[in-house]
Structure 1
Amino acid sequence: MRQNPSFALTDIGELRRLVDLNPWASLVSHTDEGLVASHYAVLLDDQRDDLTIVGHVGRPDDLIHGLGERELMVIVQGPHGYISPGWYGDVPAVPTWNFVSAHLSGVPELLSTAENLAVLDRLVDRFESRMPRPRPMWQAPNDEAFVERLERGTTGFRLTPSRVVAKRKLSQNRSSEVVETIIAELSGDGPAAQPALAAEMRRALDARRMRGAP
């Protein structure tokens, strides 16, 4: 991802928020056979306050990626959407795409069985907690043997990125008035509506105004 200083996302708190709100990530490795990509949920390491993430892959994806032996890139994709040139007013313009995204790269550490079980437990709780009748990982009819068999079919990892490239492109190069128009279009019921992106742009615009920027 080509970096642009105007859109660079470097604040650790904002990056942690991006990962926390968008746990479904793409894992990319360069292998002897070429590039390979997988898709898994990841979580922030709850023992750290940096950008360390934890997750797992199903076997044999660990071997396919060379997990723990070579660099892994984890791509976290936040809200995104099409921006029509018609939203800029009667000025020369072309379409673009607004988005928030981060690439976290480094050589991951493989987790022990106990650590992997703890991560799997956290993952289940993270998403089951929203269900009307949550089913924790250890709840019957799951028993210890079933959970242990499940764990053996996965490989857990912890990644503390040695390289981070993150971008938040939310029309920061446009006036507040134009950004308001874009937010209204994205919040509506038109063909390009993206409420999550509109909310992210609103948050960025409010922060911009608090700084006194036009």
Structure 2
Amino acid sequence: MHPNPAFRWPKTAHDQDDADERAALEALIANIGFGMIFASTPDGPRVAHVPVFSTGDGALQFHLARGNALSRSLPGSTALCVVNGPDAYVSPDWYGGGDQVPTWNYVALELEGPVRKMEREGLIALLDDVTAVNEGRLAPKEPWHRDKMDSDRFEKMVGAITGFEMEILAWRPTVKLSQNKPAEMIENAARALEDQGRRAVAHMMREFAPK
């Protein structure tokens, strides 16, 4: 989490209380759907890059290959998950005034908590959930479902991975979008980022600019 309190999750017309903020963070996880899991192992710190799925009730689910260095160390340990949103370099020239320095705007969410190993039924449910969400975004394509696979092949693939669930005890968002700048400078930089094709960052800068 960035130490500057200006870069906490900002309150907007759409985020009036903690429940709204939590819903916005859940939406961030759902929209990105991918994160990094960090934990300590006997061989030192390790990270895994994985699809992630929020259950909506305070848990984050993911799976790893059985051969992953984290698979043996995660059960019963405390882990950190990082979900990265849009990011972009910001040139000081784009602000259009003042004595500015180069910076990087970004959105990121850190999640921390204890991890347990999931039973086989839970792992299969996770795979179905992740597939359904992502296939649903491909409409009008007919959604893929594991029923299209040979059952023996599916069982073999499931046997090669392990499912995990993190109980989220800490939510630490950083939304660094030039909120510490005047509104005119934010708009100037947002227009420049649009010209560079970084529309997601430009949109969020406008959405969360101080009102």
TM bucket, shorter chain: 0.7 to 0.9
Structure 1 unaligned segments of length 5 or more: list them: none
Q: Deviations over 1:33-62 (max 9, x none)?
A: 11111101101115x2x4x21111111226
Aligned counterpart, 1:8: 8
Aligned mate of 2:147, from 139, 158, 163: 139
The equivalences for 1:45-194 within 5 A come to 45-46=55-56, 48=57, 50=58, 52-61=59-68, 63-64=70-71, 66-131=73-138, 132-140=140-148, 142-188=149-195, 190=196, 193-194=197-198
Aligned-partner residue type, residue 37 of structure 2 = L
CA contact (8 A) 1:102 1:164 kept: yes
CA contact (8 A) 2:82 2:111 kept: yes
Aligned counterpart, 1:21: 31
CA distance in 1, matches of 2:172, 2:189: 26
Aligned counterpart, 2:54: 44
Q: TM-score, normalised by structure 2?
A: 0.86
Number of residue pairs aligned between Structure 1 and Structure 2? 200
CA distance in 2, matches of 1:99, 1:153: 35
Shift of 1:31: 1.5
The change in CA–CA distance for 1:65 and 1:12 in structure 2 (over 3 A counts) is farther
Structure 2 unaligned segments of length 5 or more: list them: 10-17
Q: Deviations over 1:100-158 (max 9, x none)?
A: 10111111121111110010011122222233534523232x03222222211111111
Aligned mate of 1:195, from 188, 193, 199: 199
Aligned-partner residue type, residue 7 of structure 1 = F
CA distance in 2, matches of 1:177, 1:171: 11
CA contact (8 A) 2:71 2:162 kept: no
Aligned CA RMSD, in angstroms, stands at 1.9
- 2:188 aligned counterpart, secondary structure: helix
Q: TM-score, normalised by structure 1?
A: 0.85
CA contact (8 A) 1:3 1:167 kept: no
Taking every aligned residue pair, what percent have the same amino acid on both sides? 27
- 1:98 aligned counterpart, secondary structure: strand
CA contact (8 A) 1:87 1:182 kept: yes
CA contact (8 A) 1:71 1:105 kept: yes
